[in-house]
Amino acid sequence: MQKTKNINLVWFRNDLRINDNKVLSEACINAEKVIALYCFDPRQFQNTVYGFKKTEKFRAKFLIETVTDLKHQLSALNIELLTYFDLPETVIPKIVAEQGVTDIFLQKEWTQEEVEVETLVKLRLECVNWYSFYNQFLFHPDDINFNISETPQVFTVFRKKLEKYIAIREEIKIQALSDSNKIENITHIPSLGDLGFEVFTNHPHSAFPFSGGETAALNRLEDYFFNTKKLGVYKKTRNGLVGVDYSSKFSPWLANGSISVRTIYWKVKAFEKTHFKNQSTYWLIFELIWRDYFKYISMKHGNQIFKLEGILKKDYEWSTNETQTNRWIDGETHSDFVNANMLELKETGWMSNRGRQNVASYFAKELELDWRIGAAYFEALLLDYDVHSNYGNWMYVAGIGNDPRDRKFNVQLQAERYDTTGKFRKLWLQHSLF
């Protein structure tokens, strides 16, 4: 009996790495041939109903750098990455037909847009096996000690249920395939111009001057942990506003999956074993648990995270005043602290965690504007946009999410506490007086 040949296609989405990648690892097991694919989906670069581009120039550039690095990394494993600026439902059926693909491997996603695109592709394919894997969690959904439908409403309860009881899985190692696996590849990675943007250079004051891709992510991890040992003071500096090293800056790479959350976790453990363990080393893991939490919240509540009333289904009066929205975007509000943070975002695609909490609270609680507009603007601009964390955090500060206290930030007091000398505001508000 003749053995069936498995021609496996790895459809990369938000898992743009080779290390600790369950999807890639599974695709390489007993495969006759492995082909990789990434689609720059044109829908991701169009305007949304709120008038913003879904992906602005900062994340577009970071994505191009990430996919370029992924292509090099995969090539070293003798796997070709096919890249297209086209719709997945157009591209994938063609590749399946041309290459004789029998099996498609991909990261399991559950939010609306990703599921809809996946469905469109499946509708155009027959006789292909699909394999999807959870590939973005610290605590794997198969390992947790409660049903996803019972995910706690409060983060602290979630954390205490897991952190001392659920083991973190080991990283997955990838072996290179034989050089006979390579196929002819005439595709190219689109440029910024192809995606509709002009070429630009990073702002000189950017707190995130790094490139996209797994190589840059692992270099940053090595530097922040082991060269400078900044991890050891993370808890003290994490509310900073100016400079590269007040926080780890891992989030943009985590957002598109060019570094695994488990890789970071196990590197923290290696640091603790080699150097020292303190509140700061724990606190970085604490923040990774927050990231997991918002993913579980979105799994539990589905599309409710995108609705005006949020997961609490609270009926507030929200404004859609365009003038106020634009003043917030352009850094022209009554708060110099909000303005400085918004200008940093506009110029760099980055904003500190402290800044995000304040500008979002000001938008939703002070201006009482439809929080989904703010969330859509963050989606467009932020280098580290992640659908789960973005909408989870916006609901949280808007009082329709996971904050039982429904707090409102006093932005003036926050400025006095975290920007005592006005250094951050001076950096971005060149003509302001302090």
SS3 state of residue 10: strand
Structure tokens at 108: 């399991």
With b for 16 or more beta-carbon neighbours within 10 A and e for fewer, the 35-57 pattern comes to: bbbbbbbeebbeeeebebbbbbb
CA 33 to chain centre: 30
Give the C-alpha separation, 389 to 407, whole Å: 18
Q: Residue 434: its pLDDT value, please?
A: 40
Q: Residue 4: its pLDDT value, please?
A: 63
3-state per-residue secondary structure call for 11-63: EECCCCCCCCCHHHHHHCCCCCEEEEEEECCHHHHCECCCCCECCCHHHHHHH
Give the C-alpha separation, 8 to 35, whole Å: 6
- Please report the domains of the chain, with CATH numbers, ordered by start residue: 7-135 (3.40.50.620), 136-170+214-302 (1.25.40.80), 307-428 (1.10.579.10)
| Among candidate residues 260, 273, 242, 223, the one with its CA nearest the CA of residue 354 | 242
Q: Give the pairing type, strands 33-39 and 81-84.
A: parallel
Neighbouring-strand partners of residue 129: 103
Query: Considering the entire predicted model, what is its pTM?
Result: 0.96
Length of the chain: 434
Contact (CB, 8 A) for 281 and 267: no
| Among candidate residues 221, 207, 396, 218, the one with its CA nearest the CA of residue 298 | 396
Tens of pLDDT, residue by residue, the chain (434 residues): 344 689 999 999 999 999 999 999 999 998 999 999 999 999 999 999 999 999 999 999 999 999 999 999 999 999 999 999 999 999 999 999 999 999 999 999 999 999 999 999 999 998 999 999 999 999 999 999 999 999 999 999 999 999 999 999 999 999 999 999 999 999 999 999 999 999 999 999 999 999 999 999 999 999 999 999 999 999 999 999 999 999 999 999 999 999 999 999 999 999 999 999 999 999 999 999 999 999 999 999 999 999 999 999 999 999 999 999 999 999 999 999 999 999 999 999 999 999 999 999 999 999 999 999 999 999 999 999 999 999 999 999 999 999 877 789 999 999 999 999 999 999 999 854 44
Give the C-alpha separation, 406 to 146, whole Å: 26
Contact (CB, 8 A) for 255 and 11: no
Structure tokens at 78: 């003798």
Q: Helices 353-361 and 387-398: crossing angle, nearest 10°? A: 50
Which residue's entry shows tokens 């005043």? 321
Give the C-alpha separation, 129 to 101, whole Å: 9
Give the C-alpha separation, 86 to 95, whole Å: 13
Give the C-alpha separation, 257 to 13, whole Å: 8
Give the C-alpha separation, 279 to 300, whole Å: 31
Q: Residue 201: its pLDDT value, please?
A: 95
SS3 state of residue 191: coil
